[in-house]
Amino acid sequence: MRILMNDQFLNYYGQYGARLSRSQSIFEHQTRHPRSWLIKTLSPLLFASPNVHLNALEDLWVDRLTLKSRCEEFFLKLNTQWGDHIVHASILLNANVGFLAIPSNDASNNSATGVLPSRSAAQIASYLSVVTSFSSMMIGLLLVRQHKTKERATAAEFHQYLRQREHPVRGFEDLASIYSLPYALLTWGMGSFLVAFMLMCFQISTTVARSIVGLSIGLVCLLITWCICMAWEETEFQWRRWFKAKLHRACDDASQSDRGTQDASGWRRRLWSAPEDMWACVRRKRIIASHASRV
């Protein structure tokens, strides 16, 4: 009974503005920190993975309250993902070792040519893939070791863990960036290995082989881009939604204007102006959608 009454007190049960969902704040102003230059700079380099982890951490820390079931689910999901990244990074590391063992990739192996020991562009790209895949394995192992016990922690331990790692200005941006390193480094390693393979095919091959491989790689790149655009979470495309909203707004202003022509500089200013109005519109739409889902 005490636990039930405490939950009702924390959620403003029976009062105006009561919390109706776990991700809803009872305060007028959200407690989430504004995005700093750190997350805006690292997010493109880490393939927008910090944004996903940051949103998940902020959902766990609504009004600085922690729910044991949600925290257990979150850390269990993280440990599973990191374990998969470790396996994939080890496979990629073995592939790079086999790629570097090909004699034709290293001209210095041929002692008859008398060339000085040097490394080709394909070898350098493979070296980068080895470094990034090994780094992904190491960071993944460290994170799994540190967070494996979090699956069986109490609500108080979850609260203490998040409170100690919350920055007063950046919030959970540092923690979200660290959580995204295994995935981002593995992705960079796969890209570097693909570049090494392409260099080997285009440098030491015939015209027919280059044409076939180039056509295949172009088709695969189109499929990968299509998959990314369709499968990535909506939160990762905030920059694209902002650009589309500004573009549509500028087009609507141009169509509703009485003048036949408009100043190009004024159109650009409206397109690239500050996005506060767009964010306010997005927040209003989210609030309306959340209320509609509860009804």
For 235-270, write each residue's pLDDT tens digit.
444 555 655 666 677 666 666 654 544 454 554 555
Q: Would you state the pLDDT for residue 28? A: 62
pLDDT of 282 higher than 70: no
Tens digit of each residue's pLDDT (9 = 90 or more) over 60-110: 888 878 888 888 999 999 999 999 999 999 999 999 999 988 887 766 655
CA-CA distance, 104 to 131, in Å (whole number)?
A: 22
Between residues 138 and 38, the one the model is more confident about? 138
Alpha carbon distances (Å) from 15 to 19, 64, 165, 289: 9, 20, 32, 22
Percent of the chain surpassing pLDDT 70: 67
Examine the pLDDT at 215 and tell me if it is beyond 80.
yes
Helices (H), the chain: 2-10, 37-45, 49-60, 68-100, 121-147, 155-164, 173-179, 181-203, 207-231, 238-256, 264-271, 276-294
**Residue 234: predicted pLDDT:** 47
98 vs 100: CA distance, rounded Å: 5
Task: Identify the pLDDT of residue 48.
Answer: 85
141-197 per-position pLDDT tens digit:
999 999 988 878 888 888 899 999 988 888 899 999 999 999 999 999 999 999 999
Entry pTM: 0.73
Give the model's pLDDT for residue 190: 94
Q: What is the mean pLDDT of the chain?
A: 78
At 140, the pLDDT band (50, 70, 90 cuts) reads: very high
Residue 137 pLDDT greater than 70, yes or no: yes
